[in-house]
C-alpha cells in the first residue's frame, strides 16, 4: 500500500513538472533576425560557427567574446518567428533571446539608423474594430488593442533593456531610445493608421516578428529583448529602400554584438 502511494505521488509530480514551461537559464544567447541581411553580420562574427538546420529553419552556433551564441534566421512574419523561437528554445535552452532587425518608424522624430528598444512589444493584429454598417466606411480612430482572448502586450526583460541602454551611449549612427514596438504581419503606410497608434498606444515603430517571439519566450520564461533599427519612416516621408535597409541592418547587428559582449 505504501509503495503504491509513493508511485502515485511521483507520477503526479512528474505530470506537474511536464506541464510547467521550461526555464532556460544557462544556455547560449539566442539572437534572431528574419532576413539574411539581418543575420549575415552576426554569423560572420561567430567564432567556430556550426550551421544547424531543424525542420527547415537555420541556426548557427558559435561564440562571441567567449560567450555561447546561437543566431537564428527566423524567416519573415509571425508564424515563422513563433516556430523558429519554439524550435530554438527546445533545442538550445537559451539563457535569453534578442530579437532584432529593421523596422518602419511611426514616430515622426525617428530618423534612419535610430534604434528602438522594445520596452513594450504589442501584437498589433489583436484589435477590436467597432461596428459600422455597410457604406459607412472605415475609421481607424475607433480601433483599440484587446487582450480579451489572449495575451497581446509583452515587456522586454529589465536587465537586458538596461544593458542595451548603456551601450546606446556608444552608438554613433543615431539615437537609441526605448518605447513601444507594434508587431504583426502588416506593412502600414496609411498615415491615419500610423498617427492613431502612435497617439493612443505610443507606437514608435512597426515590424513583423518580435511579438510572436516574445509570446513564445514568455511561455517558457526566457528573458527577452526586442531591438529594431529604423530603415524607413513613412510619417517622416522616408520610404523603404532595399540597399539602404541592408546597410542599416548591419548597424543594428553590430549594436547587438556590443550588447552581447556587455552581458554579465
Per-residue pLDDT tens digits for 102-136: 999 999 999 999 999 999 999 988 888 888 889 88
Assign residue 135 a region: left if phi > 0, alpha if psi is -120 to 50, beta otherwise? left
Q: Please count the structural domains in the chain.
A: 1
Does some domain include residue 180? yes
pLDDT digits (tens, 9 = 90+) for 210-239: 999 999 999 999 999 999 999 999 888 888
Q: Tell me the HSE value of 83 on the side-chain side, using a 13 A CA sphere.
A: 14
Range of the domain at 108: 22-259
Does some domain include residue 7? no
Does some domain include residue 1? no
Mean pLDDT rounded to a whole number for the chain: 89
Longest dimension (CA), the chain: 77
Does some domain include residue 244? yes
- DSSP state for residue 23 in the 8-state scheme: -
pLDDT digits (tens, 9 = 90+) for 238-252: 888 999 999 999 999
Does some domain include residue 8? no
All three cell numbers of 164, joined, read: 542595451
Read off the CATH number of the domain in which 182 is found.
Answer: 3.40.50.1580
Residue 125 C-alpha from the chain's centroid = 15
Does some domain include residue 10? no
All three cell numbers of 67, joined, read: 560567450
Sorted by sequence, the CB contacts under 8 Å of residue 158 that are 6+ apart come out as none
Amino acid at each position: 500500500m505504501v509503495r503504491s502511494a509513493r508511485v502515485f505521488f511521483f507520477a503526479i509530480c512528474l505530470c506537474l513538472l511536464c506541464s510547467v514551461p521550461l526555464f532556460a537559464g544557462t544556455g547560449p544567447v539566442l539572437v534572431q533576425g528574419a532576413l539574411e541581411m539581418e543575420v549575415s553580420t552576426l554569423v560572420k562574427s561567430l567564432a567556430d560557427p556550426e550551421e544547424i538546420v531543424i525542420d527547415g529553419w537555420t541556426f548557427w552556433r558559435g561564440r562571441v567574446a567567449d560567450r555561447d551564441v546561437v543566431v537564428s534566421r527566423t524567416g519573415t512574419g509571425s508564424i515563422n518567428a513563433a516556430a523558429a523561437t519554439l524550435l530554438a528554445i527546445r533545442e538550445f535552452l537559451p539563457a535569453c533571446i534578442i530579437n532584432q532587425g529593421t523596422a518602419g518608424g511611426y514616430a515622426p522624430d525617428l530618423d534612419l539608423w535610430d534604434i528602438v528598444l522594445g520596452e513594450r512589444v504589442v501584437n498589433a493584429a489583436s484589435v477590436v474594430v467597432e461596428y459600422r454598417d455597410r457604406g459607412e466606411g472605415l475609421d481607424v480612430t475607433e480601433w483599440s488593442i484587446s487582450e480579451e482572448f489572449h495575451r497581446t502586450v509583452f515587456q522586454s526583460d529589465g536587465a537586458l533593456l538596461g544593458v542595451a541602454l548603456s551601450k546606446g551611449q556608444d552608438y554613433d549612427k543615431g539615437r537609441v531610445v526605448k518605447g513601444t514596438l507594434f508587431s504583426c504581419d502588416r506593412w502600414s503606410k496609411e498615415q491615419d493608421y500610423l498617427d492613431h497608434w502612435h497617439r493612443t498606444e505610443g507606437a514608435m515603430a512597426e515590424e513583423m516578428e518580435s511579438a510572436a517571439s516574445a509570446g513564445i519566450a514568455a511561455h517558457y520564461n526566457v528573458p527577452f529583448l526586442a531591438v529594431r533599427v529604423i530603415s524607413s519612416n513613412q510619417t517622416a516621408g522616408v520610404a523603404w529602400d532595399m540597399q539602404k535597409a541592408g546597410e542599416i541592418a548591419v548597424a543594428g547587428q553590430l549594436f547587438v554584438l556590443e550588447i552581447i559582449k556587455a552581458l554579465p
